[in-house]
Amino acid sequence: MTGKQMRKLMPVLAGICSVVHVPMTGCSNKPGSVGQAEREEPNTPQISEATTIAEEAYIYGYPLVTMEMTRRVMTNVATSGDKHAPMGQFALMREYPTAAFREVTAPSADTLYSIAWLDLFREPYIFSIPDAHCRYYLMPMLDAWTTVFQVPGTRTTGTKAQEYAITGPGWHGTLPPGVVEYKSPTNLVWILGRTYGAGTPEDYKEAHAFQDGLSLVPLRAYGKPYTPPPGHVDANIDMKTAVRDQVDALDGETYFKLMAALMKNNPPTAADAPFVAKMSRIGIVPGQDFDITKLDTATAGAIPKVPSLAQAKIIASIPSTGTVVNGWNVILKTGVYGTDYLDRAVITYAGLGANRPEDAVYPTSLAAADGKPYDGAKKYVMHFAKGELPPVRGFWSLTMYNAEFLFVDNPLNRYNLSQRSKFRFNTDGSLDLYMQAANPGPEKEANWLPAPNGKFVLLIRLYWPNEAAPTILDGTWKPPAVQQVD
C-alpha cells in the first residue's frame, strides 16, 4: 500500500465516525523515544539540537493539544444534541446515517455513539450504566493523551447495571458503597461509548432506552436530584474548521504555550520522565508558562519551524502503520502506546478515538487482490470458506464507502453486510459477498453490497475479536482477498 493510499485512509483508521470532521506495529523500548530507528530517513542532514528537541516535543504533545481542541468544539453548546453536548453531559446519536449524510466521514451503521467530556479537576463524576439486557456495548474512556485507560462494557464487565466513580489523578476521598473507582491518569476524560443496534424501529426503541439510562453526576450530587447546568457558548471557538486543521495551523509558540498549560492538570506519566526532562532544556515545563522571550536566540529561532517539520514527520510515518494482509490494512497497536510517541501522534492524526484492539479492529482496503483500485463498474467477490466468517464475540460487518468515505446511495438503502444479514450460503456452506454497482440478480441480491459507479473503499469492523485462535489479533485468521471477477 502506497503512502498516497494510506493518507486516503486517514479518516477511517480508527473505525469511527470522524465526529469533528477530524490503528501500528513495533514499539521502541527506550523511554522517551519518539519513534523507531527504522523510521529515520537515511542521510538526514544535521539540524540544531534545539530544533530536534522541539520537533520531538511537538510530536509528544500532539495528542494532548488535539484532545483539548476537540473538546472545545464538541462541548461549545448550550444543550445536548447528537454530536455535541456541554461538559459533563452525553451527546447521543439516535439513528444511523443515510447516504444523504455528508457532515462527517466514515459513518457507522452498526453502533450508536454516546459521547461525553469530563473535567475531574474539581471532583469526580459518578457514571451509571443501566442494564443492557445482553445488548453489546462498550464505553471506552480516554485520558488527555488518548490512552484508553478503562473500557466498561460487555467484554470486560458484562451487561448488568453498573456504577463507577471516575476520579482524577490527585483525588483522594470516600466513595458511596458499591461504586467502583476508575482513576484517570488525567483530569480530562473522553467517554466515547458505542452501542450495537440492528437499525430497526423496534431495536432503536430498546437501544435508545439504554442510551437514555446513561447518567453522569458530580460526586457532590450523587443520590440527590440533579439537573445539569446549560453549557457556555464561546463565540471565539471556530465551529466550522476541522479540528485537525485548527491544530495544525497553530504556530509553534502558541502550540507550546497551550501544551505546557494543559500538562498542569493532565500530567505526563512516570515513564515520560526522561523526555519531560529533555523538553525542559528548551523551556517546556509541565504547568509552567512557555515564554519564548526567555530562550536563547538559537532555540527561539527554531520554534517557528517546528510545526511544519513535525507534521511532515507524522504524515511520512503513515505508510508504516499496520500490516497489509490479502489487500487489507490491519492495524493492531491502538489505544495504549507507552512511550512510542510517534505512533501515538500518527493515530491521533489519522483516527482520533481509537479503541484497544481487544475491543475492535478495522481492516481497510482500497484495492482488490490484483492491486488495482476498486471500481464499481467492475464485479468483485469476497469468498469465505465454510466456518471461516470473521471470528468475533461482539459483531462484524463489511461497509461500503465511496472515494470520499461516505455511504453509497442505492435502491436497497444498504450500506453494509453483517452477521445480521440474511445471507444466501453456497451448498458447501461457504459464503460469497458481491461488490459492484449493478444488481447481480435475485439469486445473489441477499449477498450484494452496492457500490458506486466509480472508486470505492471497503472497511471491516471486528468488535470483540476472538481472544484465542482463530483470531485477527495474532494473524491466525485473515480477511479474505477481494477478487475481481469481471
* Residue range(s) of every CATH 2.60.40.1610 domain in the chain: 77-221
Res 219: pLDDT? 98
Cβ within 8 Å of residue 171, ≥6 positions away: 120, 123, 124, 183
Q: Give the chain's mean pLDDT.
A: 90
DSSP string, 289-356: ---GGGS-HHHHHHGGGHHHHHHHHHHHTGGGSSEEETTEEE----S--TT-HHHHHHHHHHHTTPPP
- Is the pLDDT at 185 greater than 60? The verdict is yes
Q: Are 344 and 146 in contact (CB under 8 A)?
A: yes
Strand partners, 150: 141
Q: Give the model confidence (pLDDT) of 366-380 as tens digits.
A: 999 999 999 999 999
Distance between CA atoms of 153 and 193, rounded to whole angstroms? 9
Res 102: pLDDT? 81
* Confidence band of 9 (pLDDT split at 50, 70, 90): low
Q: Are 406 and 101 in contact (CB under 8 A)?
A: yes
Distances (CA, A) of 45 to 42, 55, 171, 306, 308: 9, 15, 47, 16, 17
Judged by DSSP in three states, 148 sits in: strand
Share above pLDDT 90 across residues of the chain, in percent, rounded to a whole number? 86
Q: Are 192 and 113 in contact (CB under 8 A)?
A: yes
Q: Which three cell numbers stand for residue 211?
A: 442510551
Res 321: pLDDT? 83
Distance between CA atoms of 153 and 159, rounded to whole angstroms? 7
Asked if the 77-221 domain carries CATH number 3.10.450.50, the reply is no
Res 46: pLDDT? 34
Considering the entire predicted model, what is its pTM?
Answer: 0.89
Q: Give the model confidence (pLDDT) of 204-247 as tens digits.
A: 999 999 999 999 999 999 999 999 999 999 999 999 999 999 99
Distance between CA atoms of 94 and 278, rounded to whole angstroms? 47
- Is the pLDDT at 36 greater than 80? The verdict is no
DSSP string, 78-117: SS--SS---TTS-EE--S---TT--SSSS--SSEEEEEEE
Distance between CA atoms of 182 and 163, rounded to whole angstroms? 10
- Is the pLDDT at 180 greater than 80? The verdict is yes
DSSP string, 224-276: S---PPPPPP-TTS-SSS-HHHHHHTS-HHHHHHHHHHHTTTSPPPGGGHHHH
Res 421: pLDDT? 96
* Confidence band of 196 (pLDDT split at 50, 70, 90): very high
Q: Are 358 and 467 in contact (CB under 8 A)?
A: yes
Centre a 10 Å sphere on the Cβ of residue 420 and count the other Cβ atoms it contains.
16
- Would you call the peptide bond into 97 cis, given omega within 30 degrees of 0 as the criterion? no
Task: Give the pLDDT mean for 120-138.
Answer: 97
Task: Give the pLDDT mean for 394-408.
Answer: 95
Q: Are 88 and 189 in contact (CB under 8 A)?
A: no
Res 348: pLDDT? 94
Distance between CA atoms of 6 and 484, rounded to whole angstroms? 22
- Is the pLDDT at 382 greater than 50? The verdict is yes
Q: Give the model confidence (pLDDT) of 89-102 as tens digits.
A: 999 999 999 999 88
Distance between CA atoms of 37 and 44, rounded to whole angstroms? 13
Angle at 115 (CA atoms; ends 405, 96), nearest 5 degrees: 45
Cβ within 8 Å of residue 424, ≥6 positions away: 443, 444, 446, 447
* Residue range(s) of every CATH 2.60.120.600 domain in the chain: 363-484
Calculate the CA dihedral of residues 317, 322, 325, 330 and round it to 10 degrees.
Answer: -140
Share above pLDDT 70 across residues of the chain, in percent, rounded to a whole number? 90
What pairing do the DSSP bridges indicate for beta strands 431-436 and 448-450?
A: parallel
Task: Give the pLDDT mean for 452-457.
Answer: 96
Asked if the 363-484 domain carries CATH number 1.20.1630.10, the reply is no
Distance between CA atoms of 68 and 145, rounded to whole angstroms? 10
Task: Give the pLDDT mean for 190-207.
Answer: 96
Distance between CA atoms of 61 and 64, rounded to whole angstroms? 5
Q: Are 275 and 56 in contact (CB under 8 A)?
A: yes
* Confidence band of 350 (pLDDT split at 50, 70, 90): confident
